[in-house]
């Protein structure tokens, strides 16, 4: 996928409904249908690849789902900083690997509590009106199509990337703070990871900036791993003090459990997904070992 600067995005400076329709690949009548409909979402419980259930707000109309996919694609085509890992081409495993060089330093993981519900309609409106510089009417329409119950819905195609852009200035400032303290910062949806000898300084800053912007951190999910701690959990992956990355023990236990069952199609798919996850992590370790082995000497 070709990447663009924000100001070169199709979503930048939309001033007419006609242009909006062209960009969203829908007709004027279809836009009008969505604009005048105040019952666009339905609640639904879905299971992720690991079988974990969660409540989501899904679009009722295939047309709205099409719009969400389109907005997701357009936002995903914008160049983003290296610190974000919940974008196409990256994942939770690469997020953990990003901190590999700091495996024997302090690592702090934090979770933004209720991230999507915290991204209010006004934040989305300001994103399109002030950052993307769309006119007020267009920003209002996009906000209507992309939010539900005055916030970003959970579980939609666009939810993660839209929430990121709505808070991009916050995360950019955290990244600058981390760099200034010789630390690394990364973001995977609502999971924050900081690594480095001065991680606690950055953690204090994160807490302050979150509070200032009416976001909150989950205290029970905040973990501080001291340098000597042998196993550091980062977005579901274990980073060892020697730099090796491995799946959690519960991943292997779940694989063993599924192997002993008379599996249905759903369980077979889950088993296959877990096996692929383990294989991908092993491949990352092989790549890391190869790079270390072939690195040129500076002596």
pLDDT, tens digit, for every residue of 14-30?
Answer: 999 999 999 999 999 99
What is the band of 52 on the pLDDT scale with cuts at 50, 70, 90? low
Residue 187 has pLDDT above 60, yes or no: yes
Mean pLDDT in residue range 100-115 = 96
**pLDDT greater at residue 268 or residue 31:** 31
Mean pLDDT in residue range 175-198 = 98
What is the band of 33 on the pLDDT scale with cuts at 50, 70, 90? very high
What is the band of 274 on the pLDDT scale with cuts at 50, 70, 90? confident
Residue 238 has pLDDT above 70, yes or no: yes
pLDDT of amino acid 288 = 57
Mean pLDDT in residue range 52-57 = 78
Q: In whole numbers, what is the pLDDT of the chain averaged over residues?
A: 90
pLDDT of amino acid 292 = 41
For residue 168, which of 202, 127, 211 has the smallest C-alpha distance?
127
Mean pLDDT in residue range 277-297 = 60
């Amino acid at each position: 996928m070709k990447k663009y600067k924000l100001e070169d995005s199709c979503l930048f400076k939309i001033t007419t409904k006609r242009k909006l329709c062209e960009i969203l690949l829908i007709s004027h009548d279809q836009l009008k249908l969505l604009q005048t409909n105040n019952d666009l979402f339905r609640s639904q419980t879905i299971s992720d690849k690991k079988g974990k259930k969660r409540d989501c707000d899904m679009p009722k109309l295939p047309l709205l789902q099409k719009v969400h996919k389109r907005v997701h694609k357009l936002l995903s085509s914008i160049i983003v900083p290296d610190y974000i890992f919940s974008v196409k081409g990256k994942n939770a495993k690469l997020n953990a690997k990003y901190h590999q060089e700091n495996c024997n330093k302090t690592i702090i993981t934090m979770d933004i509590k209720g991230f999507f519900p915290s991204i209010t309609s006004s934040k989305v409106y300001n994103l399109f009106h002030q950052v993307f510089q769309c006119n007020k009417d267009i920003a209002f329409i996009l906000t209507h199509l992309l939010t539900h119950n005055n916030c970003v819905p959970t579980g939609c195609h666009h939810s993660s990337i839209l929430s990121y852009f709505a808070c991009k200035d916050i995360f950019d400032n955290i990244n600058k703070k981390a760099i200034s303290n010789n630390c690394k910062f990364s973001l995977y949806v609502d999971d924050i990871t900081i690594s480095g000898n001065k991680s606690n300084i950055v953690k204090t800053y994160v807490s302050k900036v979150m509070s200032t912007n009416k976001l909150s951190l989950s205290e029970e999910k905040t973990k501080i791993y001291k340098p000597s701690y042998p196993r550091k959990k980062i977005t579901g992956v274990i980073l060892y003090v020697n730099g090796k990355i491995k799946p959690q023990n519960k991943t292997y236990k779940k694989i063993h459990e599924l192997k002993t069952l008379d599996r249905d199609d759903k369980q077979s798919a889950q088993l296959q997904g877990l096996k692929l996850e383990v294989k991908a992590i092993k491949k990352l370790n092989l790549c890391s070992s190869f790079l270390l082995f072939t690195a040129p000497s500076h002596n």
